[in-house]
Amino acid sequence: MSNYRIQGATGEWEVVIGLEVHAQVTSNSKLFSGADTTFGAEPNTQVSLVDAAMPGMLPVPNRECIRQAVRTGMAIEAQINKYSRFDRKNYFYADLPQGYQISQLYHPIVGEGSLTIDADDKAGIPEDKVIGIERIHVEQDAGKLMHDQHPTMSYVDLNRCGVALMEIVSKPDMTSPAEAGAYVRKLRSILRYVGSCDGNMEQGSMRADVNVSVRKVGDTELGTRTETKNVNSVRFVMAVIEGEARRQVALIEDGGTVVQETRLYDPDRNETRSMRSKEDAHDYRYFPDPDLLPLELEQDFLDACRASLPELPDAKRARYTDALGLTPYNARELTAEVETFARFETLLAATAGLLGKGEEAVATQVANWSLSVAPGVMNALGDEANPAHATAAAQAAILKMQAAGEISGGQAKEIYEIVLKTGREPGEIAETEGLKQQSDTGAIEAVIDEVLASNTDKVEQYKSGKDKLFGFFVGQTMKAMQGKGNPAVVNQLLKDKLG
């Protein structure tokens, strides 16, 4: 139980949250027809006769959608049901041509599983907080209604109609907006790792139905819940919970009762309101779709699904800290997004390869480079940078020179800047632009001798115990070498000379 509380007039209340996340399955064609799923096409151009529910049209399921749902289930360590069925959920609406949605109620493809959300001290999320997942089922998306194109008509676009969704139903295991936010983030991350959903919330690829109820602290019975539909960002999910919990507490404390109902979130006003239009039809008359036979999955299919699973976020993070020796912070940052770890791992392999070392030997250097140095350079350059030049090969070459002491950290940045602007080769840049460190002991010794000779008084003071002056000698030497001295070598030689 988190410590999130609502202070009511009659005492403290806690909130109980369950989420139904609709995630669009990444597939080329729709769940039951061959029409394209690409986002943003002209209205009704990606609609087959099947999607438009013409008389006599029949659904035939897309194997890829089934495969992605199974892989997703495996990623949350859920029960995979070898036997599942498609049911019809019957209701009338203009975005639903068949008059029913093909979904799964009685026998979903994925049963119980769970995921662990990321701990967050400030937000009150403890270590190892597990959120249960009730089920994942596969279903059709609906079409889209446009209300602002005509004074007396709504317009119907069926492009989305029939696109495959996974409905991922959590248990009511979350007790604060922060936990719900962390849950959505973690789920999104897993889906993106698995590749079963692009997680693009702005385009509606992921949206959540937010179930909220409140109860007095200490009560064990659940209160009556409301369901706020189609909330499409983490921030809004959290806002809905806060607002809805406060609304419910105020309502109850005013002597009212919470009605189990469907609500809609208005982000502009940051409030939810009742969706009376969908009120009346809560009798969906589910029954097995007689156009479809039971779905029975072969062991081979399941084995192939499992074999195709990538390393998942928790495992990857653990490996980054345990095997690669990264800090927990770096591990978390690097594993948050698919693109981030993909870039990191490519660069890590390239750098280790160039240096002929194990990945663990260069991981910290590559991590720092990936998380702060490289993005810093890129940002500073702005439009001048050509991202296409940010290849792993170029960056690995820079990191290799740095690791070998051939260039300093500052030089590395300068070289990378030129790489981003021009695409030139880092080794060549180092040579021609004079961006190389002096590591030749003879040459450095000569400079040091000169520095010491012209500062005999300081040498005296140092020798009589003023240790702090060591930095002064380093600075003078580096200055004389125009910053190109290898600091490690400079330090070593100075120590030797000063005794």
Partner 1 sequence: MSVNKADVAKIASLARIRMDDAALERMVPELNNILGWVEQLGEVDTSGVEPMTAVIANTLRLRDDVVDADPLTAGGRREDVLANAPAAEHGFFGVPKVIE
Partner 2 sequence: MMSDLTQLGVKAIRDGVSGGDFTAREVAEAFNAAVAGAAALNAFIVTTPDHALAAADAVDERRAQGEALGVMGGVPIGMKDLFCTKGVQTTAASHILEGFIPQYESTVSSNLWAAGAGMLGKLNLDQFAMGSSNETSYFGNVSSPWRKDGTNAAMSPGGSSGGSAASVSARIAPAATGTDTGGSIRQPAAFAGICGIKPTYGRCSRWGVVAFASSLDQAGPMAHSVEDCAIMLGAMAGFDPKDATSLKMDVPDWEAALDADLKGKRIGIPREYRMEGTDQAILDSWEQGKAWLRDAGAEIVDISLPHTKYALPAYYIIAPAEASSNLARYDGVRYGLRDLPEGSGLQDMYAATRAAGFGDEVKRRVLIGTYVLSAGFYDAYYTQAQKIRALVAQDFAQAWAQCDAILAPTTPTASFPLGSLSDDPLTMYLNDVFAVPASLAGLPAMSVPCGVTSEGLPLGLQLVGKAFDEQGVLNAGLAIEERAGFTAKPEKWW
Q: Does 46 bind partner 1 (CB under 8 A)?
A: yes
Q: Which of residues 158-187 bind Zn ion (CB under 5 A)?
A: 167
Number of residues that bind partner 2 (CB under 8 A): 30
Residue 100 interacting partner from partner 2, partner 1, Mg ion, none (CB closer than 5 to 8 Å by kind)? partner 2
Amino acid identity, position 370:
S
State the first-to-last Cα distance of the chain, in angstroms, to the nearest integer: 62
Q: Which of residues 128-167 bind partner 2 (CB under 8 A)?
A: 154, 156
Q: Does 20 bind Mg ion (CB under 5 A)?
A: yes
Task: Out of 8, 61, 132, 487, point to the residue binding partner 1 (CB under 8 A).
Answer: 61
Instruction: At 483, give phi and psi (nearest 5°).
Output: 75, 5
Whole-number CA gyration radius for the chain: 30
CA angle 316, 178, 210 (to 5 degrees): 105
Least separation in angstroms between residue 92's CB and Mg ion is: 17
Joined tokens for residue 149: 């194109």
Residues 162 and 442: their CA atoms lie apart, in Å, by 74
Residue 98 interacting partner from Zn ion, partner 1, partner 2, none (CB closer than 5 to 8 Å by kind)? partner 2
Q: Which residue has the tokens 């632009």?
A: 433
Segment holding 230, helix H or strand E: strand 226-231
Residues 155 and 247: their CA atoms lie apart, in Å, by 34
Q: Is 285 helix (H, G, I), strand (E, B) or coil?
A: coil
Amino acid identity, position 199:
G
Considering beta carbons, is residue 101 or 395 the nearer one to Mg ion?
101
Joined tokens for residue 203: 């385009």
Residues 25 and 31: their CA atoms lie apart, in Å, by 9
Task: Out of 209, 244, 289, 414, point to the residue binding Mg ion (CB under 5 A).
Answer: 209
Least separation in angstroms between residue 159's CB and Zn ion is: 18
Considering beta carbons, is residue 262 or 365 the nearer one to partner 1?
262
Q: How far is CA 385 from the centre of its chain?
A: 25
Residue 293 interacting partner from Zn ion, Mg ion, partner 1, none (CB closer than 5 to 8 Å by kind)? partner 1
Whether 22 contacts 229, CB under 8 Å: no
Q: Does 261 bind Mg ion (CB under 5 A)?
A: no
Q: Does 127 bind partner 1 (CB under 8 A)?
A: no
Residues 29 and 23: their CA atoms lie apart, in Å, by 15
Instruction: Mark the segment that binds partner 2 (CB under 8 A) among 283-291, 361-369, 408-416, 422-430.
Output: 283-291
Task: Out of 6, 36, 90, 381, point to the residue binding partner 2 (CB under 8 A).
Answer: 90
Residue 49 interacting partner from Mg ion, partner 2, Zn ion, none (CB closer than 5 to 8 Å by kind)? partner 2
Q: Does 266 bind partner 1 (CB under 8 A)?
A: no
DSSP letter at 33 equals: S
Q: Which residue has the tokens 């000169």?
A: 450
Instruction: Mark the segment that binds partner 2 (CB under 8 A) among 129-137, 223-231, 261-269, 279-287.
Output: 279-287
Binding site for Mg ion (CB under 5 A): 20, 209
Binding site for Zn ion (CB under 5 A): 167
Binding site for partner 1 (CB under 8 A): 27-29, 33-37, 42-52, 54, 60-66, 85, 92, 94, 145-147, 149-158, 264, 275, 277, 280-281, 283, 285, 288, 292-296
